[in-house]
């Protein structure tokens, strides 16, 4: 098992990124701004994201990751989290106001993101 720390700070600045870890090629723990350390090819290989909770320092990079690789995704990225964390993502982030609902794009039968 290869574990790579992409970010572990509570904020951003030169040399700082928020919480995210890569496990092997296809798993992420949290989706903070540390996701910016991944190449587009590395992002496209991600199949599962495990979120510890819904604080912004743990989810801020998630919408941008999905948007950045939208055209490359052939099977949905599955987001695993507690029900209240998934509810917060749906209600406050992937709500068509803050960001598109990628669980319905490109269509509901073939989404790029599954919760």
Residue 17, domain CATH: 3.60.15.10
Residue 78 structural domain = 3-114
Q: For the chain, what is the domain count?
A: 1
- How does pLDDT run across 58-71, given as a tens digit for each residue? 999 999 999 999 99
- How does pLDDT run across 81-98, given as a tens digit for each residue? 999 999 999 999 999 999
- How does pLDDT run across 1-18, given as a tens digit for each residue? 999 999 999 899 999 999
Confidence of residue 52 (pLDDT cuts 50, 70, 90): very high
* 85: nearest Cα among 77, 96, 94: 94
Instruction: Supply φ then ψ for residue 37, to 5 degrees.
Output: -80, -15
Query: What's the confidence (pLDDT) of residue 64?
Result: 97
pTM of the model: 0.94
């Amino acid at each position: 098992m290869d574990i790579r720390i992409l970010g572990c700070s509570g904020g951003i600045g030169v040399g700082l990124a928020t919480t995210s870890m890569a496990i092997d090629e296809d798993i992420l723990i949290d989706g903070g701004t540390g996701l910016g350390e991944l190449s587009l090819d590395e992002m496209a290989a991600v199949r599962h994201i495990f979120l510890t909770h819904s604080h912004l320092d743990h989810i801020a990079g998630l919408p941008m990751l999905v948007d950045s690789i939208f055209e490359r995704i052939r099977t949905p990225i599955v987001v695993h989290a507690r029900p209240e964390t998934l509810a917060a993502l749906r209600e406050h982030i992937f709500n068509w106001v803050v960001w598109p609902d990628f669980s319905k794009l490109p269509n509901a039968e073939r989404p790029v993101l599954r919760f």
